[in-house]
Structure 1
Amino acid sequence: MTTNVSNDSYIDSLKWQQPTGVPDANNNDQLTQSDFFALLTQQLSYQDPTKPADNDQMIAQMTSFSMADGISQLNSNFESFASSMTSNSALQASTLVGKDALVPSSVLELTDGKPSKGSVALDQAAHDVTVKIKNDAGEVVRTIDIGSKAAGATKFEWDGKDQSGNPLPPGNYAMTAEGRVADGEYTSFPTGAFLNISSVSLKGTHGLVLNTGAGSVNLSDVVEIAQG
């Protein structure tokens, strides 16, 4: 007499069982460390006893999760650090209000009762350096003679008067600079202006932005800060 022993019930016990009930809600839909160990426990409980999980694979899974968890914590800490840095930068930048910032510019800002200050960037020594100031119509209202200068930044002031000594109305005036270099040829040079900082703004990826009467400039473009 032959006796058949069926192990179907044993095989069924090794199959994946459908979960019952509704899992708890996860506020951020992310796996936490407790979730990982719960999954790991389930994985071990349902593995084939004749083919246990490879130790190297288990270690690799645990290492991968540890790295992912560490990166997540690092991102959280970095966000907190960035927020703190932004607040500190805004607080420090508020001390710039009322001061003058030297920025590359072809515009001079003229205000009541205050001379306008600018700068000419000479990449080489030059003679007969002049700055021409123009109104909205493009007319030269004033020519400032700077003379002969060595290479470097040369600062100048404009009293807000035209060539005849008459006061000009407040506003923004265009300026150009040129001079005679070693070969005797006249060449143009870049200019800068000291603009009064009226306020400071935080604008996302642009960082700190300084607001002036001649427009807004990024803090990274500022060459020098001077008392207003």
Structure 2
Amino acid sequence: MAGVDNVGQNGLSYVDQLKKLQEQKKPDEVTGKQDLKQEDFLSLLTKQLSQQDPFKPVSNDQMIAQMASFATVDGIGKMNSQFENLNSSMTSNQALQASSLVGRDVLVPGATGVKKDAGSMAAMVKLPQSIDNLIVRVENEVGQLVRTFDVGAKPVGDSRVEWDGKDQNGNALPAGKYKIKASGLMDGKNNEFEVSTYANVNSVLLGKGDGNVLLNLAGFESPVRLAEVLEVGKA
């Protein structure tokens, strides 16, 4: 069985001819892709067989290797298609499971949260070590300090804090966005700690083909990825 010469009569190598063939392929009218299919490789192989130098044939091993590469390319294409289908199925399943979060509170990164009418607002403070006195400050949407209160001693790890929604004089503040800040003495120095806030889930969205499931949160302009949720509140 004759093989395929690495360089055809036109002086182009096998790889160069592949590149030339791909450049000549017209873009798909729908996707705009220029992918070479298995029949393109076979067409090129047939052309090379007809143009090879009969005095310099390539070994059968090289011929078999090229045929094996065709099968590998075709197999990879099918595998990619199967992975896309699997990803779509997993995303739909995640969205179905996430739908149970609608109406529930979730903990998301960020110190800014939303206070409901005549309601309180909860947050989670991450402490790198235990402290004797945790101080919480609450700022309104324009950055004005509206409340400061002491939480007391807290151990290392996550500590839940809750603001009753009132100012320093005990007056209930209107609904809206507020920022929770937490600080305390650690090794003799005042430190600011990482804060996450709770928000209520309004609806669930599928991502734009990227496999992400998004949550629309009450009072938030942009959705949050399900993967970012740190905790789910009790039903």
TM range (shorter): 0.7 to 0.9
Q: State the superposition RMSD in angstroms.
A: 2.8
**Which of the numbers 92, 95, 100 marks the counterpart of 1:90?**
95
- C-alpha distance in 1, partners of 2:52/2:180? 80
- 1:42 is displaced (CA, Å) by 7.2
Question: Match of 1:142?
Answer: 147
Q: Which amino acid aligns with 1:111?
A: K
Give the whole-Å Cα distance in 2 for the aligned partners of 1:83 and 1:74. Answer: 14
Taking a change above 3 Å as real, the CA distance of residues 32 and 156 of structure 1, as seen in their structure-2 partners, is same
| Greater C-alpha radius of gyration | 1
Deviates more, 1:58-67 or 1:134-143: 134-143
Unaligned segments of structure 1, at least 5 residues:
1-26
In structure 2, the gaps of 5 or more residues are 1-27, 29-33
Paired residues in the alignment total 201
Q: How does 1:1-228 map to 2 (within 5 A)?
A: 30-32=36-38, 54-183=59-188, 185-204=189-208, 205=210, 207-212=212-217, 213-215=219-221, 216-227=223-234
| Aligned residue number for residue 5 of structure 1 | none
Deviations 1:87-115 (A, max 9, x none): 11221221221111112212131012432
Inter-CA distance 56–176: structure 2 relative to 1 (3 Å threshold): same
Contact 1:210/1:217 (CA < 8 Å) preserved in 2?
yes
Residue 145 of structure 2 aligns with an amino acid whose one-letter code is V
Q: Is the contact between residue 126 and residue 182 of structure 1 (CA under 8 Å) also seen in structure 2?
A: no
Helix, strand or coil for the counterpart of 1:160?
coil
TM-score by length of 2: 0.73
Change (3 A) 1:57 1:197: same
Contact 2:207 2:213 in 1 (8 A): yes
Whole-angstrom distance in 2 between the partners of 1:143 and 1:149: 17
Task: Note the C-alpha offset of 1:202.
Answer: 2.5
**1:163 match: secondary structure:** coil
TM-score normalised by structure 1 residue count: 0.75
CA distance in 1: counterparts of 2:124 and 2:170, whole angstroms: 22
Contact 1:177/1:188 (CA < 8 Å) preserved in 2? yes
Contact kept in structure 2, 1:125 and 1:182, CA below 8 Å: no
